Amino acid sequence: MHRFHYNQGQLFCENVSLQSLAEKHGTPLYVYSKGTITDHFTRLDAALGELDHLICYAVKANSNLSVLSTIAKLGGGFDIVSAGELYRVIKAGGDASKCTFAGVGKTRDEIEYALSQGIYCFNAESEAELEFINEVAGKLGKKAPVAVRVNPNVDAKTHAKITTGKSENKFGIDFDRIGAVYARIANEMPNLIIKGLQMHIGSQLTSVDPFVEAVKKVSPLVAEMKEKYNLQFFSIGGGIGINYRQSLDSGDAGWWEKNSAEQHPLTIQKYADSVVPLLKPLGIRILCEPGRFMVGNAGALLTQVLFEKRGGAKIFKIVDAGMNDLIRPTLYEGWHQIVPLKQVEGEVEKVDIVGPICETGDYLAQDREVAPVKAGDYIAAMSAGAYGFSMASNYNTRPMPAEILVDDSQAHVVRDRQTLDDVLKGEHVV
C-alpha cells in the first residue's frame, strides 16, 4: 500500500533515503512516492474494470502540479471544488473535459471559467445553484452540463467533520426531492443539460457497508432518472479510507491487502466485490472520486527534533513542524504514525510531539509511544500525503515547506520552500 520502508536502519521512500533528503533540503519537508500514487490508481482502475468508469481524483487532497500530472498521465479525471483547482489541473496537463466541479458555493466567475474550459459536468448541490448556473450559462449563450448531488441520508460512521451524506449536512439535495428537481431542470432551465447524478457520503470510510447501503438506496433512483432524462453517468463519490497504521518493514504494495484485515477491513478488492455487482446492472458510466486513497499513504512529513522538555506531567519533543504544516491532528484528531528516520535503540517513551506554533493545539501526536529520539534527530509523520500540504498555511508567518516527489531512485523538488519574501509578497504598507 506504500513504498516507505527501512533499509539497514534508515527509512527510505522507494530507493531514496529520507535522512538524505532532510539534510539536503531542510525541514519541515513533504515527501511523496510517485510509485505509490501510480500503484493506487492502477489497482483501483483494474478493480472497476467490469464497469464503464472514470476515476476523478479529488484535487483538494493534494493539489501539487506533479501529483496532478502523474494522475493525468495515467488517464485520470479530476474532481474539483474551485476555479483555482481547475486552473491547476490544466497547468498540470490534465483534461478539463474529464473534470467534475463540486462544492456548494460556486461563484459567477468560477462558473464562467469552467464553462469556457469545457468541463465535463457541474455537480450541483442546491436548486438555487442550478438556477444560478442556468442564468450564467444563458448570458454566455452556452449549455451547462449538470448533475444533481443527492443526499441519501446514509450515516458513513466517520468523523463528524468529514461526513457529508446525512440530512443535516450542507451538501446535496434531499433524496425525496430529487425527482422534482430533475423535472424542474428539464422543464424550466433551458440552459442546462442533464448529464448525471452524484452522491458522496463522507471521507475515510473503513467499512464497505455504508457504500453498499448508499448504492442500494440510490441505484433505483438512477435507473428512474436514466429512463426519464437519459443520464450518462452515476458518480458514487469517494471516501475510501486508508490505513494510518502500516508496516514499514516491507515495501511490498500488496502487504496491506494481505495482512490488515483486523486493523482496516476495507480493501480495494472488497470494495469492488461489494459495489461493482450492484452498479453493473445500471448500464451507465460510473464515476469514482477518490482523494485520500490515492495520495494519503504516498506522503510523509519530515521534521527535526529541536528540544526535549521534561515536565512533571509529560515529556515533550519539540519539533520544527507545526499545525500550520499539518493541521489534521488539531482539526480532526487525525492520527499519524511517528517514526525516526534512523532507527534508534532503547525503550520507547510516551511523549507529546509538539510544534513551535503559539497554540496549545499545536501538536502532531499526544501521549504517543515513540522511539527515544533526541534533539537533532529527524522523524517522520507518516501517511501525510492527503490534507497535509493542501491545508497548510502561513500562520505565525511561517514559510510553507518544500515538496519532493520520489520516483524510484530520483528525488525531484516539485515545490520550492517559501522564503519570507514569498510570504509577504502582495502586502503593502500604507
Determine whether the annotation assigns residue 355 to a binding site: no
Average pLDDT in the 121-135 region? 96
Give the integer Cα–Cα distance in Å for 279 and 270.
15
Tell me what the pLDDT averaged over the chain comes to: 92
Q: Is the pLDDT of residue 261 over 80?
A: no
Q: How confident is the model at residue 249 (pLDDT cuts 50, 70, 90)?
A: low
Q: Is the pLDDT of residue 402 over 80?
A: yes
Q: Is the pLDDT of residue 165 over 50?
A: no
270-295 per-position pLDDT tens digit: 999 999 999 999 999 999 999 999 99
Query: What's residue 3's pLDDT?
Result: 93
Read off the DSSP letter of residue 249. S
Query: What's residue 335's pLDDT?
Result: 93
Give the integer Cα–Cα distance in Å for 30 and 300.
6
Average pLDDT in the 123-128 region? 94
Q: How confident is the model at residue 164 (pLDDT cuts 50, 70, 90)?
A: very low
Query: What's residue 168's pLDDT?
Result: 53
Determine whether the annotation assigns residue 285 to a binding site: no
Query: What's residue 155's pLDDT?
Result: 65
CATH 3.20.20.10 domain extents, the chain: 34-291
Average pLDDT in the 374-396 region? 97
Burial of 137 from C-beta contacts in 10 A (0-12 / 13-18 / 19+): buried
Give the integer Cα–Cα distance in Å for 178 and 367.
47
Asked if the 34-291 domain carries CATH number 3.65.10.10, the reply is no
From the list 13, 56, 99, 358, the catalytic residue is 358
Give the integer Cα–Cα distance in Å for 304 and 319.
5
Query: What's the longest Cα–Cα distance across the chain?
Result: 72
Give the integer Cα–Cα distance in Å for 178 and 155.
19
Q: How confident is the model at residue 256 (pLDDT cuts 50, 70, 90)?
A: very low
Instruction: Report the percent of the chain where pLDDT is more than 90.
Output: 85
How many CB atoms neighbour CB 358 within 10 A?
Answer: 9
State the cell numbers at 394.
502561513
Average pLDDT in the 115-130 region? 96
Q: Is the pLDDT of residue 391 over 80?
A: yes
Query: What's residue 156's pLDDT?
Result: 56
User: 337 vs 18, 126, 300, CA distance in Å?
Assistant: 16, 39, 10
Query: What's residue 161's pLDDT?
Result: 45
Q: Is the pLDDT of residue 257 over 80?
A: no
Q: Is the pLDDT of residue 262 over 50?
A: no
Determine whether the annotation assigns residue 112 to a binding site: no
Reply yes or no on whether 288 is catalytic.
no
Contacts of 180 (CB under 8 A, 6+ apart): none
Determine whether the annotation assigns residue 57 to a binding site: no
Query: What's residue 265's pLDDT?
Result: 52
Of 78-82, 168-172, 310-314, 353-357, minimum mean pLDDT range:
168-172
Give the integer Cα–Cα distance in Å for 348 and 346.
6
Q: Is the pLDDT of residue 166 over 80?
A: no
Give the integer Cα–Cα distance in Å for 384 and 338.
11
Q: Is the pLDDT of residue 386 over 70?
A: yes
Average pLDDT in the 309-328 region? 95
Dihedral over alpha carbons 159, 353, 34, 41 (to 10 degrees): -10
Determine whether the annotation assigns residue 328 to a binding site: yes
Query: What's residue 206's pLDDT?
Result: 87
Q: How confident is the model at residue 332 (pLDDT cuts 50, 70, 90)?
A: confident
Determine whether the annotation assigns residue 292 to a binding site: yes
Average pLDDT in the 381-400 region? 97
One-letter-per-residue 3-state SS of 173-229: EEHHHHHHHHHHHHHHCCCEEEEEEECCCECCECCCHHHHHHHHHHHHHHHHHHHHH
State the cell numbers at 276.
461493482
Fold of 4-29+297-424: Lyase, Ornithine Decarboxylase; Chain A, domain 1 (2.40.37)
203-226 per-position pLDDT tens digit: 889 889 999 999 999 999 999 999
CATH 2.40.37.10 domain extents, the chain: 4-29+297-424
Determine whether the annotation assigns residue 291 to a binding site: yes
End-to-end CA distance of the chain: 53
Q: Is the pLDDT of residue 255 over 90?
A: no
Average pLDDT in the 4-26 region? 97
Q: How confident is the model at residue 162 (pLDDT cuts 50, 70, 90)?
A: very low
Q: How confident is the model at residue 202 (pLDDT cuts 50, 70, 90)?
A: confident
336-380 per-position pLDDT tens digit: 999 999 999 999 999 999 999 999 999 999 999 999 999 999 999
